[in-house]
């Protein structure tokens, strides 16, 4: 469990959960394009780490070849709900609103 929380010290982790909390079913490409145009590679790395940590799940479903949709796991949803409640209290730089 501590490994999951260690992720939140890393850039874009809270941003990614916050965005998926607002709109699940985004592809990795759609999600990494949200917010600033910079650091797309960092966002993709963070998405993959969060999948590995069990906060995000991937649904390949009946979508196009190599297009997968991202959804929060129950644990990821709990954290995203807290972020959505605190959104107005979290500094803009943390949730990527002013990059």
pLDDT score at 73: 95
Which candidate, 85, 94, 77, 90, places its Cα nearest to that of 36? 94
Q: Is 66 left (phi over 0), alpha (psi -120 to 50) or beta?
A: left
d(Cα 51, Cα 54) in Å, to the nearest integer?
A: 5
SS3 content of the chain, % helix, strand, coil (to 5): 50, 10, 40
d(Cα 19, Cα 28) in Å, to the nearest integer?
A: 12
pLDDT score at 98: 42
Average pLDDT of each block of 10 consecutive residues along the chain (99 residues)?
A: 62 85 89 78 88 92 75 92 72 49
* Domain architecture of the chain: domains with CATH: 2-86 (1.10.10.10)
């Amino acid at each position: 469990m501590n490994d999951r929380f260690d992720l939140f010290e890393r850039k874009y982790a809270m941003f990614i959960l916050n965005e998926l909390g607002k709109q699940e079913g985004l592809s990795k490409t759609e999600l990494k394009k949200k917010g600033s145009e910079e650091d797309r590679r960092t966002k993709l790395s963070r998405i993959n780490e969060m999948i590995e940590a069990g906060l995000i799940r991937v649904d390949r479903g009946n979508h196009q070849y190599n297009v997968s949709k991202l959804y929060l796991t129950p644990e990821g949803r709990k954290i995203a709900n807290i972020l959505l409640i605190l959104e107005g209290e979290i500094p803009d730089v943390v949730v990527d609103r002013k990059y």
